[in-house]
Amino acid sequence: MDNNINMKRIVRLIGAGLAFIFLLVLLFGTFGKIDAGHRGVLLEFGAVSDEIKPEGLYIKVPFVQSVQRVDVRIQKEQVEASAASKDLQTVHSLIAVNYRVQPDRVNALWQKIGRDYKITIIDPTLQEVYKANTAKHSAEELIKQREAIREAILGDLKEKLAPYHIIVEAFNIVNFD
């Protein structure tokens, strides 16, 4: 009889312990934090919702919702690019673009492209726009009209990246060779 009572106590203690652990998981899985300069894309069962979590604390439904953080601060992408000028001279350059994600549209960016938007959209667009603008000018014009060409590339980058909710802040030709 004593063994039976002890067994019931052990089962009750194990049950209470499991309930306590479950409540802790629920409690800690309900709250989260978004750091300054970021936004949170709310996913419900993996689907992108319309709600964007701002900086600070947020509440979510555990096991149903998750939050993916997206950096909305100005970022720099610097790449080496090769192109042909109008007079068929090979031009090697180091180019840089400063951009940021539109904070109120991070969910649309996440839904269209996902986490790798820099590799998927920014890098190819940067190369394409640079090559297209370089091909319009001779090697001599590229050197003499550097500022005008930089402005043209900046305008084209803004236009091509805007549909993806990426704001281009600046473009620079760091080096021509």
106, 72 in Cβ contact below 8 A? Answer: yes
CA distances from 124 to 111, 161, 176 (A): 19, 11, 20
- pLDDT for 140: 85
- pLDDT for 13: 82
Per-residue pLDDT of the chain (177 residues; tens, 9 = 90+): 567 777 888 888 888 888 888 887 777 778 899 999 999 999 999 999 999 999 999 999 888 899 999 999 999 999 898 888 888 888 888 999 999 999 999 999 999 998 899 999 999 999 999 999 999 988 888 888 889 999 999 999 999 999 999 999 999 988 877
Going by C-alpha positions, the residue among 162, 12, 32 that lies closest to residue 101 is 162
**Residue type for position 93:** S
- pLDDT for 1: 57
- pLDDT for 2: 65
| Confidence (pTM) | 0.81
